Structure 1
Amino acid sequence: VHDAARPFLSGEVIGRVLEALATADGALAALPVADSLRRGEDHVTGSVDREGLWRAQTPQAFRRQALLRAFDAWSGPEPTDEAAVMAAVGARIALVRGDPRLFKLTWPEDFEMAESLARPAREVRMGQGIDAHRWGPGDGVWLCGVRIPHDAALVGHSDADAGLHALTDALLGAIGEGDVGQHFPPSDLRWKGEPSATFLAHAGALVGARGGRILSLDLTLVCERPKVSPHREAMRMSVATILGIDVSRVSIKATTTEGMGYTGRQEGLLAQAVAAVELPSA
């Protein structure tokens, strides 16, 4: 007999109560009382010796016909459990080791604890993405799904959105799924001119298929121009919309190299991203 209000029942506890029936008329799972006991209402009026006291749980085990006869003979108020009914007819009830996880769902905080226990074990994984594109002729650049007017464009097979490419690689890296080139090879003409939002949405869908969720994304754009700050919030919202996450989980920053290197000479733009993803533990 088991109480459905105790959902975390293990096969080991069932086995122990059944085994105890070999030498007893019944058996119930129980835990010795570990807390000090006090008697009182709004203040302490006395103590209760906890020696020999047990917290009764379920499951409880009995032979079916004996339990039915005991119920037929019961004449008192509603019993608290089947063990009380059997004990009333003189049955010997064995105590076997229960399980702390067999707590009874009674108060609101019990349900909060149960939800925590029912949640599968999770782990956080990190991924990194780096992408760079050279500047070429054009009148605008796509960054994080936002078109920014500019006197040049980034050159690439797709729309050359280095920000979204770096974020895509960061998510793929966090779940061990390679890089954007493996999923959308430049040799495949299907992806020529493709909006990079397609790539990022694909990576997000793979995270979801693993039972995961995106905790945070942090992107840094390295370039002398264009200025990123006027477009930062639009970029954050674009990334959040593509992935279906709250914008608070998206960080986008920009920096320069003070004229040094290929970004400083305005030959190209560099994007670096880090992703934190929560997944079920392997």
Structure 2
Amino acid sequence: MSASRESQSVAAIVVAAGRGIRVGGGVPKQYRRVAGQAVLTRTLAALAAYPGIGQIQPVIAADAADFFHDCLDDLTPAIRARIADPVEGGATRQMSVRAGLEALAASGAPAIVLVHDAARPFIRPELIERAIRAGRDHGAAVPGVPVTDTVKRVEEIEPGIGRVVETPAREALRAVQTPQAFAFGPLLDAHRAAAGQDLHAFTDDGALAEWAGLPVVVFAGEVENRKITQAADLIEAERAFSSESAGATAMTQYVTRLGTGFDVHAFTEGDHVWLGGIRIPADRGVLAHSDGDVALHALTDALLGAIADGDIGTHFPPSDEKWRGASSDQFLAHACELVRARGGRIDHLDITVLAEAPRIGQHREAIRGRIAEIAGVPLTAVSIKATTTEKLGFVGRAEGLAAQAAATVRLPEDDAA
């Protein structure tokens, strides 16, 4: 082709900001798992597998960052490198698409942009290719499939009852899908113009382009490119992906590992203890080379155990003065980095503190939040409990405190072997 590579650049916006809870379960449909992978994960992988797409721009809800990063964790590093940091969507689909367009404009506008629904994970390379070709040839193009049912246009005469106004000929009708393809500049201009007139209710970009006066063509879509909307769609997707080996080639296959850890420190003079990265007032401190945080020490060992990489003393020997009085958050952060360096993901962290005192109930949520922050995991992936030993042993005699922890991680199958 005579055109330069830059002039032919293609980016894709994946609209994933919807709440989409009609499928049930209380989780937006794009984050529901089918055959072990989130719907959005599969959609991103399918787009990233097409070499003609240079950048993928996700648009997500403001409170969905944890869901989204879980989706990324299930993708190979090569695929993750193709995906830009997500931007926050708006109250309508149209506003979300514009957020994606503005992000692309700021990072270097492509020639062609594809706009695709996160809940359409069945997209095939052939459809992507047709979309890009139609977008380049016509400037505004949407995929469509023939309508097989007879369609009636009605006017409502009472709630739930409509009078037929027209029966359009099925031959002239198409059910429109995504990805929709556009010349980038005109689509961004159309979005900005609609926003300037406070128009935000366009349900697809083809309709917005029509409103802006852009000629829109329809190219051949695919019946298989269905959108997950209802619970039955999830069941069908589960069945389809479970039996489809091709969909797994772009995904990393993981095995689950469980590691455990234990730590204990004796009490000494002092006015506080560190637990889970939180300074807790107490009538005594602990005797330790570092800050003596038994919770973080146990958790660090649990993670190291899950990846079979020694223990905390191996990585931070107490004989090294460098670690005297050190804050234990760096120990946990190091263990988490080791997991991720091997392509792993942390699924759950669980700690039990054994102590007669201090009581940690009022500090529980602060500890959970601090551990989640250090480990880079959702708050829901952190659990902390406390118990006594019924006056038995050194803990029961209030001579010290201890903690035991468990960490569940997933490692790439080849690395875990």
TM-score by length of 1: 0.62
Partner of 2:81: none
Deviations 1:150-192 (A, max 9, x none): 0000110000000000000000000011100000000000000
Partner of 1:158: 290
- How far, CA to CA, are the matches of 2:149 and 2:223 in structure 1? 25
Q: 1:252 aligns with which of 384, 395, 406?
A: 384
Amino-acid identity (%): 51
Partner SS for 1:119: coil
CA RMSD of aligned residues (A): 2.8
Q: Which runs of 5+ in 2 are unaligned?
A: 1-45, 51-147, 151-219, 229-236
Q: Which has the higher contact order (CA 8 A, sep 6+)?
A: 1
Partner of 1:13: none
- How far, CA to CA, are the matches of 1:116 and 1:265 in structure 2? 55
Deviation at 1:218, TM superposition (A): 0.6
- How far, CA to CA, are the matches of 1:280 and 1:105 in structure 2? 30
Partner of 1:205: 337
- How far, CA to CA, are the matches of 1:127 and 1:104 in structure 2? 46
Deviation at 1:118, TM superposition (A): 1.8
| Matching residue's letter, 1:170 | A
Partner of 1:99: none
Report the structure, 1 or 2, having the larger helix content.
2
Q: 1:220 aligns with which of 345, 349, 352?
A: 352
The runs of at least 4 consecutive aligned structure 1 residues that moved more than 2 Å come to 103-110, 112-117
| Matching residue's letter, 2:409 | V
Q: 2:315 aligns with which of 170, 183, 201?
A: 183
Partner SS for 1:127: strand
TM-score by length of 2: 0.42
- How far, CA to CA, are the matches of 2:367 and 2:308 in structure 1? 26
Deviation at 1:115, TM superposition (A): 5.6
Partner of 1:229: 361
Deviations 1:211-231 (A, max 9, x none): 111100110000000001110
Q: 2:396 aligns with which of 264, 270, 277?
A: 264
Shift in CA distance, 117/261, structure 1 to aligned 2, threshold 3 Å: same
Residue correspondences, number: 188
- How far, CA to CA, are the matches of 2:401 and 2:349 in structure 1? 19
- How far, CA to CA, are the matches of 2:388 and 2:399 in structure 1? 13
Deviations 1:48-73 (A, max 9, x none): xxxxxxxxxxxxxxxxxxxxxxxxxx
| Matching residue's letter, 2:407 | A
- How far, CA to CA, are the matches of 2:226 and 2:282 in structure 1? 61
Shift in CA distance, 196/104, structure 1 to aligned 2, threshold 3 Å: farther
Q: Based on CA coordinates, which of the two structures has the bigger radius of gyration?
A: 1
Partner SS for 1:224: coil
- How far, CA to CA, are the matches of 2:322 and 2:223 in structure 1? 58
| Matching residue's letter, 1:200 | L
| Matching residue's letter, 1:165 | H
Q: Which runs of 5+ in 1 are unaligned?
A: 9-40, 44-79, 81-102
